[in-house]
Structure 1
Amino acid sequence: MAFEPDIPPIQVHLCVKGGQEAIAWYEKAFGAVETFQQMAEDGERVQHANLSLFGSEIMLHDEFPELSLDVMSPLSRGGAAMTINVNLPYPIDVDRAVKRAVSAGAAVTMPVGDQFWGARYGKIRDPFGHVWAFNAPLVKAG
């Protein structure tokens, strides 16, 4: 199977309740940069947006319950069904990344700590219901 060279084989596409607010929050909490946005015909909901963050790109859209239950956010579903794992390179400070997210309104779901697999690790839930884990090696590889 061949892949397009500039398109990652797996990409996260988040459904949120409050697309404009989510974009602003990811910019504040994670330093995201919006690279594209298209509003829905109703002029109120984000139909599609691309955000660059942590060296990756995610896609984002508002809920569209009138189309399908597949386009509902974790807030409407009663929780997230997955964790978005952010692997930070050594010596990036996981504590600082989590603290920045918390100061922007995230809730800690697993306090940052040194883990048995040799990484500094912690988890947060963003105000839109998505769970993010931050992971960085404790020592430089090689």
Structure 2
Amino acid sequence: MLTPYLTVHDARAAIDFYAAAFGAVETGERYEEDGRIGFVALAIDGAALYLSDEAHEYGAWAPRSAGHATAAIALGVADADAVYARAVAAGATVDREPSDQGDERRGWLVDPFGHRWVIASPLVA
């Protein structure tokens, strides 16, 4: 099993964004003594996504602090256009509009926390 574990500058806001944009459901969380979220598990269409607030003392830096995205996440969905539009409406920034690419319809965006996402769905022949 491989699970992305993202660091963000505001984990509570990220949970709300991922719920609105991708239908994420929170399945567990742990707080640090200072109130930061040290770990939260989200489920998106049966896949897991973990995230935390920044914790520089543990080497956890968000893209905002790093000055750039440090990874991209690929999300396979049934309707790339609908999910892409929902994410943009929730606050994501357009990178590349969805288009047919090979056997997929694919679009790229950047979430409000600096992480790049490719949203893809299979093309039906």
Tell me if TM exceeds 0.5: yes
Residue 57 of structure 1 is matched in structure 2 by 48
For 2:37, which of 46, 49, 64 is the aligned residue? Answer: 46
* Unaligned runs of at least 5 residues, structure 2: none
Ranges in structure 1 where 5+ consecutive residues have no aligned partner: 1-7
Q: Distance in 2 between matches of 1:74 and 1:93?
A: 28
Instruction: Note the alpha carbon deviations across 1:91-125, whole angstroms, 9 max, x for none.
Output: x211100000000000011111111x221000110
Instruction: Name 2:124's counterpart in structure 1.
Output: 139
Which one of the candidate residues 46, 52, 64 is aligned to 1:75?
Answer: 64
- Deviation, 1:54, is 2.5
Q: Is the aligned partner of 1:129 residue 2:120? A: no
| Cα shift at 1:25 | 1.0
Q: Contact between 1:34 and 1:49, CA under 8 Å: does it hold in 2?
A: yes
Q: Give the structure-1-normalised TM-score.
A: 0.84
% identity of equivalent residues: 38
1:110 counterpart = 2:96: yes
Which residue number in structure 2 is paired with residue 34 of structure 1? 26
Partner SS for 2:88: helix
Q: In the alignment, residue 52 of structure 1 is paired with which amino acid? A: A
Q: What RMSD over aligned residues (CA atoms) do the two structures have, in Å? A: 1.1
Q: How many residues align?
A: 125
Greater Rg over alpha carbons, structure? 1
- 1 CA distance for matches of 2:22 and 2:121? 16
Shift of 1:38: 1.1
Off by >4 Å, runs of 4+ in structure 1: none
- TM-score when normalising by structure 2: 0.95
User: Which has the larger strand fraction?
Assistant: 2
Amino acid in the other structure paired with 2:40: A
